[in-house]
């Protein structure tokens, strides 16, 4: 028993054009909510992050708060890289489904997938 699940995706070799497509990134937040039957608490936010002259050459950061927790996407078009999180208090997520969603949307060559069960010590009597 656990409180929730957290899927973390790091994608490599993606399409620079798709990773820099504000509308696509924004739409992924809503589409993921629909596919996972999650409820958005407000309008998703997306902002362009400038080059920080270190390892981050800039890209898009997008976030939506959901009743079940949050979904975030960070793209780095010049590095052909994406980092995305899907965290929910629901259980029974299919991490491979989520990884494949991002792989297809951004034409990723490789995906690193991490899956964490959250709140393993959350009181069991509160999980029902």
Which parts of the chain have pLDDT scores under 50? none
The answer to pTM > 0.85 is yes
pLDDT at 51: 81
Catalytic residue among 61, 74, 83, 125: 74
Is 69 catalytic? The answer is yes
Whole-number pLDDT of residue 77:
96
What is the per-residue pLDDT for 108? 98
Which residues are within 8 A (CB) of 80 and not within 5 positions of it... i.e. 6 or more apart? 12, 13, 14, 15, 16, 19
Among the listed residues 6, 33, 69, 72, the single catalytic one is 69
pLDDT of residue 128: 67
> What pLDDT was estimated at residue 116?
96
74 is catalytic: yes
Domain boundaries, the chain: 21-68
């Amino acid at each position: 028993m656990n409180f929730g699940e957290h899927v973390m995706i790091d994608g490599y070799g993606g399409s620079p054009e798709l990773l820099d497509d504000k509308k696509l990134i924004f739409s992924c937040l809503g589409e993921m909510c629909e596919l996972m039957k999650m409820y958005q608490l407000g309008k998703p936010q997306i902002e362009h992050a400038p080059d920080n002259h270190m390892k981050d050459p800039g890209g898009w950061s997008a976030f939506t708060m959901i009743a079940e927790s949050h979904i975030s996407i960070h793209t780095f078009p010049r590095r052909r890289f994406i980092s995305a999180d899907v965290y929910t208090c629901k259980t029974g997520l299919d991490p491979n489904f989520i990884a494949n969603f991002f792989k297809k949307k951004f034409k990723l060559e490789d995906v690193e997938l991490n899956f964490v069960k959250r709140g393993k010590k959350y009181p069991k009597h509160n999980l029902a």
